[in-house]
A and B are shown apart, each in its own frame.
Chain A
Amino acid sequence: MKSKYDVLVIGGGPAGALAAKTAVEKGLSACIVEKRPAIGAPVRCAEGIGKEALQEFIEPDPRWISAEMTGATIVAPDGFVMQLSSQMAGSKVGYVLDRKFFDRELVWKAAEAGADVAVKSRAAVPIIENGVVKGAKVDFCGKVTNVRAEVVIAADGVESKFSKWCGIDTTVPVREIMSSVQYVMTGIEIDANSTVFYLGNEVAPEGYLWVFPKGKNTANVGIGISGRKSGAGHRAKDYLDAFVKKTFPHGRTIEYIPGGVSVCRPLECTVADGLIITGDAARVVDPLTGGGIYNAMYTGKLAAETAADCIGKGDVSKKALMVYDKTWRASKMGKAIERNYHIKEYLIKQPDTKLNEIIHSVSKINMTEFTTLNLVKEIIRVNPKLMLELGALAASLR
């Protein structure tokens, strides 16, 4: 690690890796600092991603793909099952990744392109001069080094502190944190090629429970519930344990993964003088699905492209970096977040009876393009009454 880079990236997840790789490809010097001793571990993720979303950034490789999905299943609160499949029967619609290897691959690609990487190295304090972020004090085993940079890219995840230290309020409202637990379970009876989502206030209040296959008889079995529904005796772990006891009584848990997923709106502003905020740290998780891998890679790459442009022009002020903020908000991803936020807000207010009614209306959907938007459109098509309830939101879905 040197004492000066064009771009300093805080965090070695998908956002940080794409940021560093893109920066060096643009001719900048870049360094990733990762506080943990290993890239990719511990996993804090259900590991699902859409096929096209992944391919926008990297060609799928069996070394870090646990399983290929050809469909999805939604289980209503009353147990009714809705099947979603591709119009082309049997074709791939998504993947369940092996994040330990996936994250490592992304960082390896960044390093191979020329980025520096420092693990077990924590950005402990930002360097701020005249209100402008100029780098960070990086702590490696108690040895603190000043690392200066033209632009700092914060990619420090859900537990992000860097932006907060720079004066930006990143606090997630209690009702909008998904308090989550996941077990990697083996020895369980599952459909190896379909993700399953369980809905209902008894199963997962204001959230959902998932079974994402990781291969034969093995899956990520996890749950997210709203922080406001969590408390002593009724935490995410309590709900998951009850489900597992009933559904997979003979399964064995080989990994224990707690976590938090934000389902709030993104930060009001994702740049400051000398600073760009990306991925989970920017709260750009899809509020409906909780998916964040694609959004992290997209914002990480865009952040570095913007940084390269601004450094080239000699202006890394908030005003100049705003191009990043404006671009992602206007992107397909930005629009999907806004739309899905409203859908989520509608759905969490519905009683189980209403959820049952909605899910019963369609027992099988063959989708041309496998997206949550298409699912919602199909549900609205067969429930014209929903149009009225959704009001202005419905218009944006057409």
Chain B
Amino acid sequence: MLKVHRDICGYCGCCVSVCPEGALELIDAYLSVEENCTSCGVCAKVCPLGALEVVNEKQV
């Protein structure tokens, strides 16, 4: 699943624009991840700060 490192995230919305599922939304100062996220990792790749990470369910 997708983990948002809230201490790193600058809530800029770069990730939202590339999400093929429309699973991310920038709600003012936090990033919301919807259930339809497929953990494809596209958002984690493009994040300018490295705030997103696809992690194994068991690691959470």
Contact = CB atoms under 8 A, between A and B. Distances in A.
Contact of A230 (B13, B16, B20, B46): B46
Which of B17, B22, B28 has the largest number of chain A CB atoms within 10 A? Answer: B17
A35 B18 contact: no
Interface string B4-28: 0000001011111111101001111
A44, A258, A259: residue with the most chain B Cβ atoms closer than 10 Å: A258
A177 B18 CA distance: 7
Given A35-B28, A237-B50, A258-B48, A174 B10 contact: no
B48 A122 contact: no
B53 to A, nearest CB: 9
B24 to A, nearest CB: 8
Interface in A169-199: 170-174, 177, 179-181
A164 B22 contact: yes
B60 interface: no
A222 B12 CA distance: 14
B13 A260 contact: yes
B28 A37 contact: yes
A171 B48 CA distance: 18
Contacts of B25: 159, 161
A204 to B, nearest CB: 12
Contacts of A159: 12-14, 16-17, 25-26
Interface string B26-49: 111000000000000010011111
Nearest to B53: A232
A395 to B, nearest CB: 33
Contact of B22 (A44, A161, A258): A161
B60 to A, nearest CB: 19
A171 B28 contact: no
Task: Bin chain B's interface residue count.
Answer: 20 to 34
A262 interface: yes
Given A122-B27, A171-B20, A177-B18, A258 B46 contact: no
A174 B12 contact: no
B18 A174 contact: yes
Contacts of B45: 174, 227-228, 230-231
Interface residues of A, number: 36
Contacts of B26: 159
B49 A235 contact: yes
A180 B14 contact: yes
A354 interface: no
A298 B40 CA distance: 36
Nearest to B46: A227
Interface string A256-271: 1111101000000000
A115 B12 CA distance: 27
A177 B45 CA distance: 11
Given A161-B25, A258-B10, A174 B46 contact: yes
Contacts of A174: 18, 42, 45-46
A70 interface: no
A122 B49 CA distance: 25
Contacts of A179: 14, 46-48
A120 interface: yes
A11 B3 CA distance: 28
Interface string A239-259: 000000000000000001111
A171 B50 contact: no
Given A44-B12, A161-B25, A256-B10, A180 B17 contact: no
Given A159-B12, A236-B49, 8 more contacts: A158-B14, A158-B17, A171-B18, A171-B20, A177-B18, A181-B48, A258-B12, A262-B17
27 contacts: A36-B28, A44-B13, A120-B28, A158-B17, A159-B13, A159-B26, A164-B22, A171-B18, A177-B17, A177-B46, A179-B14, A179-B47, A180-B48, A227-B18, A227-B45, A228-B45, A230-B48, A235-B48, A235-B49, A237-B48, A258-B12, A259-B13, A260-B14, A260-B17, A260-B46, A260-B48, A262-B17
Interface of B: 10, 12-20, 22, 25-28, 42, 45-50
| Shortest Cβ-Cβ A-B pairs, 8 listed | A159-B13, A260-B14, A258-B10, A227-B46, A236-B48, A159-B16, A258-B12, A179-B48
